[in-house]
Copies of this chain bind each other. A is one copy, B any other.
């Protein structure tokens, strides 16, 4: 069976990996733009570490800290304009998937004059600013993917810029920065990672390489489940200890490597409406839908769900659903009109072509209904 593999990002993982490899930064130029959200990079120590590393190498920097959750196209253009104004040589993106994805979009926009209507058409020149990615959640895997996923009001959903140009040049993974993540965020992001690994295995593009990475990612997730269950109902992140944090960071990075090869499935396509219209966190949205898509897949490809369940050390899709429901807690309400609307949109999502078991619009409705 034919497949492709490509993931050129250099990954450095471990405590103090930024400062320990600061000499690598100087290779990208003299002036950096740090891209982050409003506060987390300042609070979790990551921004300080980046600044120390830049200072050690006598590099200058500017800070663009305006990226919101589910980042907009507008904030990406704004960051790109800021980068041009300050004539920066490279970008250091710190945060969850939102700052990382927005920064990857900015990297393209700084060096190429791309009109908004052409932003997602996949046709780009070859120039781009280098991006260094520092994840401070363990979920999106954006540090090792070629995707920048932006909220796109024109289609009332999220849309991907997908080009190998925006693979980060370097990813620094220091799980220390995730130490104080609230339990709810820890769980939601970990489920995003799980969803990437599981969905990757269910795509038409899965391969021996992506499956090896996915199965390991899934096993790491499962290892962390007892600690996450024990932390349920508590709020402070310190309920989840450092070795669990490190395993979640690995789980997320491996799952990012998976979707860099495979893309995602209808689960992501369906989840985008839950986030866009109902403001449900992205990872949580995937987690709410994943088991019922797995149930559909099981009907046509039981070998495939068998492999996934085996990696989870589970026997049935019901076990899988119960596990996720325990972590996700009380569900949101969804009404028939929403299901109708979201299903119509999901049935047109590009991810549908990527599914080994391709759902009909009716299947999609059933998944939404059974998931809530």
A residues adjacent to B (C-beta < 8 A): 1-15, 17, 207-209, 211-213, 215-216, 220, 246, 250, 253-254, 257
B4, B209, B220, B246: the one within 8 Å of A10 (CB): B4
Kindly state the separation between the CA atoms of A182 and B185 in the bound complex, as whole angstroms: 56
Question: Nearest 4 CB-CB pairs, A to B?
Answer: A2-B14, A212-B216, A8-B8, A5-B11
Question: Most chain-B Cβ atoms within 10 A of its Cβ — which of A8, A9, A209, A257?
Answer: A209
A209 in complex: contacting residue of B2, B17, B207, B254, CB < 8 Å: B254
Complexed CA–CA distance, A254 and B5 (Å)? 11
The answer on a CB contact under 8 Å between A208 and B254 is: yes
Instruction: Chain B residues near A257: list those with CB within 8 A.
Output: 209
The docked-state distance in angstroms from the alpha carbon of A250 to that of B3 is 10
Q: List 28 A-B contacts (CB under 8 A).
A: A1-B14, A1-B246, A2-B12, A2-B13, A2-B14, A2-B15, A2-B17, A3-B11, A3-B14, A4-B10, A4-B11, A5-B10, A5-B11, A6-B8, A6-B11, A7-B7, A7-B8, A8-B8, A208-B220, A208-B250, A209-B213, A209-B216, A209-B254, A211-B216, A212-B212, A212-B215, A212-B216, A212-B254
Chain B residues with CB below 8 A from A211, complex form = 216
Residues of B contacting A220 with CB < 8 Å? 208
Q: Identify 19 new A-B residue pairs, CB closer than 8 A, beyond the known A13-B207, A209-B254.
A: A1-B14, A1-B246, A2-B13, A2-B15, A3-B11, A3-B13, A3-B14, A4-B13, A5-B11, A5-B13, A6-B9, A11-B209, A208-B250, A209-B213, A209-B216, A209-B253, A209-B257, A212-B216, A212-B254
In the assembly, how many copies of this chain are there? 2
Point out the residues of chain B lying under 8 angstroms from A213, CB to CB.
Answer: 209, 212-213
Closest beta carbon of chain B to A176's beta carbon, Å: 12
User: Within 8 Å CB of A212, what residues of B?
Assistant: 212-213, 215-216, 254
Give the distance in Å from the alpha carbon of A4 to the alpha carbon of B6 in the complex.
17
Q: Which residues on the B side are within 8 Å of A216 (C-beta)?
A: 208-209, 211-212, 215
How long is the Cα–Cα vector from A10 to B4 in the complex, in angstroms?
A: 7
Query: A7 contacts which chain B residues (CB < 8 A)?
Result: 7-8
Closest to A167 in B: B8
Q: How far is the CA of A184 from the CA of B12 in the complex (A)?
A: 40
- Nearest CB of B to A144, in Å: 8
CB distance from A319 to the nearest CB of B (A): 24
A220 to chain B, nearest CB (A): 7
CA distance A11 to B6 in the complex (A): 6
**Residues of chain B contacted by A2 (CB below 8 angstroms):** 12-15, 17
Which of A4, A5, A7, A215 has the largest number of chain B CB atoms within 10 A? A5
Query: Closest Cβ of chain B: how far from A170's Cβ, in Å?
Result: 9
Q: Which residue of B lies closest to A6 (CB)?
A: B10
A171, closest chain B residue (CB): B5
Residues of B within 8 A of A10 (CB): 4-6
- Shortest C-beta distance, A266 to chain B (Å), equals 25
B residues less than 8 Å from A246 (CB atoms): 1
Closest to A7 in B: B7
**CA A267 to CA B3, docked complex, whole Å:** 32
CB contacts (< 8 Å) of A250 on chain B: these are: 208
Considering the chains assembled together, what is the distance between the CA atoms of A10 and B7 in angstroms?
8
